[in-house]
Amino acid sequence: MSSVENLPLAALQPSVEQERMRAARRRRVGFCLALLGVALVAPLAIYPVFLMKLLCFALFACAFNLLLGYAGLLSFGHAAFLATGGYVTGYLLSQYSGLSTELGILAGTVASGVLGLGFGLLAIRRQGIYFAMITLALAQLVFFVYVQAPFTGGENGLQGVPRGHLFGLIDLSSNLAMYYFVLAVFVFGFAVIQRTIHSPYGQVLKAIRDNEPRAISLGYNVAAHKLLAFVISATLTGLAGATKTVVFQLASLTDAHWHMSGEVILMTLLGGVGTVLGPLVGAGVVVTLQSYLSNGPLGDWVHVILGVIFVLCVLLFRAGIVGWLRKLVRRNFK
């Protein structure tokens, strides 16, 4: 009898919960659409190549955030995926002139995904600092392969990669056409990440992040979930690297260096780890600072200023810029 009495209440509760989630999703979608609107008109005001760079790094940081923010895995080897995407795409596009741009990018992305699978299979067996160290070691291995391999051009890098034609039709040598293509790539990557985070799979990932033993005891195959997250992250990082190579028409060792792995951690933490927009904001801040400081009279101080900002961020708002803003909004407007 008691179960019958409780029924209406039980049926009511999820609908309240659902309503709340729906509202949250509406807000999120609305916000993303507004951002997209800004992105569509942005090249009219800001130099498109700079915007493209920003988008590539934002995608890179978002992919990294999927791993760190939602699976709780700190990878210190993401530069390897960025570089692999870049080199494979760059090499294919410059060797086979008939290849259309999107196929080149696809090849680079897949190559990164495969490399991510290899890395993941080895690295997810360990946790915490050991996981980070294994990814770093593997990435260094990849770095030295790229230093030596003849197709990367070693220190000189891969130069003069043609931007080519999208679908064999649209000429990407114009910055504006290129920009909208990069924007489309970014939106695709971002959507994949959003879908992953908000799917049941994403919920399991969060559960693993928060309490791994409990997730195991609930019967989830934790290793497989982590591996999948790692591969998705590596693949999207490869997509960012491949796109970046096409934008700048070059691939270089800078992308493979462990500094790059560090930079993406900086971007993610600065913006707010585990937030949807955090990596975007973080990438924006870091790339903009690098770009504008290097052109200004404070050029010599780029690294110092970034370092100070990072220290302040860790000391004052540990949730990152977006995390901090979110807290501020919650406290004052609800």
Partner 1 sequence: MKLFQKTASAILVSSLIAGAAQAQVSDDEIRIGYLADMSGTYRDLAGPGGLEALKMAVEDFGGSVDGKKIVLFNADDLNKPDVGANTVRQWVDEKNVDMVTGLVASSVVLAAVKVVEQADKLALISGAASSGITNEYCSPNHIHWTYDTYALANGTAKAVLAGGGKSWYLLTADYAFGHAMEADISKVVKEGGGEVLGSVRHPFPSTDFSSYVLQAQGSGAQVVALANAGADTVNALKTASQFGVTQSGQQLAGMVVFLNDIHAMGLEVTQGLKLTTGWYWDMNDETRAWAKRYHARFGSMPTMAQAGVYSATMHYLNAVKATGSDDTKTVRAKMAETPINDMFAKGGKIREDGRMVHDMYLVQVKTPAESKGEWDLYKVLSTIPGDQAYRPLADSQCKLVNKVAKN
Residues forming contacts to partner 1 in the complex (CB under 8 A) are 47, 49-50, 53, 144, 147-148, 150, 153-157, 159-160, 175, 244, 248-250, 252-254, 290-291, 293-295, 299-303
CB-wise, 194 or 254, nearer to partner 1?
Answer: 254
**In this structure, what DSSP letter does residue 257 have?**
S
**Containing H/E element for 65?**
helix 48-70
Least distance from C-beta 148 to partner 1, angstroms?
6
Region for 310 from its dihedrals, namely left if φ exceeds 0, alpha if ψ lies in -120 to 50, beta otherwise: alpha
Distance, CA of 109 to CA of 128 (rounded, Å)? 27
**Which residues are within 8 A (CB) of 127 and not within 5 positions of it... i.e. 6 or more apart?**
212
**In this structure, what DSSP letter does residue 151 have?**
G
CB-wise, 153 or 189, nearer to partner 1?
Answer: 153
CB-wise, 11 or 45, nearer to partner 1?
Answer: 45
Beta strands in the chain (DSSP E): 165-166, 170-171
Least distance from C-beta 156 to partner 1, angstroms?
5
Distance, CA of 70 to CA of 244 (rounded, Å)? 25
Least distance from C-beta 303 to partner 1, angstroms?
6
Least distance from C-beta 81 to partner 1, angstroms?
17
CB-wise, 39 or 302, nearer to partner 1?
Answer: 302
Least distance from C-beta 28 to partner 1, angstroms?
32
CB-wise, 54 or 231, nearer to partner 1?
Answer: 54
Which phi and psi (to 5°) does residue 171 adopt? -75, 120
